[in-house]
Amino acid sequence: MRAEIICVGSELLLGDIVDTNTQYLAQRLSALGIDLYYSTSVGDNLGRLVDCLRRAHERSDVVLTSGGLGPTDDDLTREGIAELMGETPVVDESLAEELRKFFQLRRLEMTANNLKQASLIPSARAIPNARGTAPGWWVSKHGKSIIAMPGPPGELHRMWEDQVEPQLGDGASVIRSRTLKLFNISESLVDVLLKPLTPAANPTVAVYAKQDGIHVRITAKAAHAEGAMRAIEPIEAEARRLLGDSLWGTDSDTQESVTGALLSSRGLTLAVAETVTRGQIAAMLSATGGSESWFRGGLVLPAPNDDSAEAGRLARLSLEQFRADMGIGVCGGPVAGSEPLVDDVLVAIVQPSSGLASNAAFRTRHHLVRTIGAYYALHELRRTLSRV
């Protein structure tokens, strides 16, 4: 089955709002094993909307739209679908009554233009909207479907999960993925290491550069979820063997959550003192679930110098300030004469009870030093914890 997404609204093209609906629907379609080949954003113009709908309807089995279902003159999705189908919208009295009850319950005035939200064409049926006044449309004609949903993500998500996905996904194949996450290794090297696996068509292996490192996504398509995951297993095992110690997590893991789990499993507490990362490390760790049991606190200080001795001093200062089991200090600064400008990131970790000490030096682009520097620090902390 081929799907296509059309997001309707001039505010999308003006940059007033960010389109998150396409990302959400793309992920949900992928999980159902439905192929998404095209996505489009179009403004509140009836001619251009109908043109987009016609092209999508001709080349795809199911067209999903979001937005344009409100009561105002510039909400044109129903009108566009009706024109494409050559049908005339008519107010459905049962839908109109539901709208009246909605407004009465909230003691709000229902104006005449709200009735367009209660309209249907002969080839459409209403999709209930549990979170708003605009029902969706499920249009079936010529063996194809157009499914119109509201633009607000909270309304669209609920409608999709409760009303659309259970019917659209019935009997479809499924797609499942496993993402392996790596750090301090280049995308090009990962591609070389995984070259024996990448030619396969199912499961597929793809490499992506992300801010928290390199992601390797293994994706399989099968008749059911269990079959897809079974197909992934041998590919994942071989990928792990080829990638070795660069691997730090999978799927929804974050560097800070993995670090926190290591600290918790070892019964250790941590404190941070940082300069060049300007509090980013402390912010990431303190926002991690369960951090109250292992994260004692953080200091953000100016950077008088940027050598390894200063990183060590910061690590010891954090220990003294917060009485933690481990301390990490991070400092650094611009590399003289570099073009484009890059920064050194110097990391020191101390644990007095075991005599453990660790020092590491990294480099990153100047404008990314706060975030990437924090990832480098967590990377070194994970490596150190693995030796504890």
User: Which pLDDT value is given to residue 199?
Assistant: 85
As annotated, the residues of the chain forming the CATH 3.40.980.10 domain(s) are: 2-168
- The mean pLDDT of 316-333, rounded to a whole number, is 95
Q: Which CATH superfamily is domain 2-168 in?
A: MoaB/Mog-like domain (3.40.980.10)
Q: Shortest CA distance to 275 belongs to which of 313, 249, 238, 229?
A: 313
User: Which pLDDT value is given to residue 294?
Assistant: 98
pTM of the model: 0.73
CATH dotted code for 255-385: 3.90.950.20
Which residue stretches of 113-224 are H helix?
153-159, 165-168, 187-193
As annotated, the residues of the chain forming the CATH 3.30.70.2860 domain(s) are: 174-250
| pLDDT of 351 strictly over 80 | yes
- The mean pLDDT of 14-31, rounded to a whole number, is 93
The CA distance from 138 to 156, in Å, is: 14
Tell me the pLDDT tens digit for each residue of 179-194. Answer: 999 999 999 999 999 9
Tell me the pLDDT tens digit for each residue of 77-86. Answer: 999 999 999 9
- The mean pLDDT of 368-380, rounded to a whole number, is 95
- The mean pLDDT of 49-55, rounded to a whole number, is 98
Q: Shortest CA distance to 117 belongs to which of 105, 108, 129, 109?
A: 129
As annotated, the residues of the chain forming the CATH 3.90.950.20 domain(s) are: 255-385
| pLDDT of 256 strictly over 90 | yes
Q: Shortest CA distance to 316 belongs to which of 294, 286, 349, 345?
A: 349
CA distances (Å), origin 265, targets 73, 296, 378: 59, 16, 16
Tell me the pLDDT tens digit for each residue of 332-346. Answer: 999 988 888 999 999
Angle, CA 311 vertex, CA 310 and CA 312 arms, to 5°: 90
- 72 class by beta-carbon count within 10 Å (0-12 exposed, 13-18 middle, 19+ buried): exposed
**CATH 3.30.70.2860 fits domain 174-250:** yes
Residue with tokens 């499920």: 138
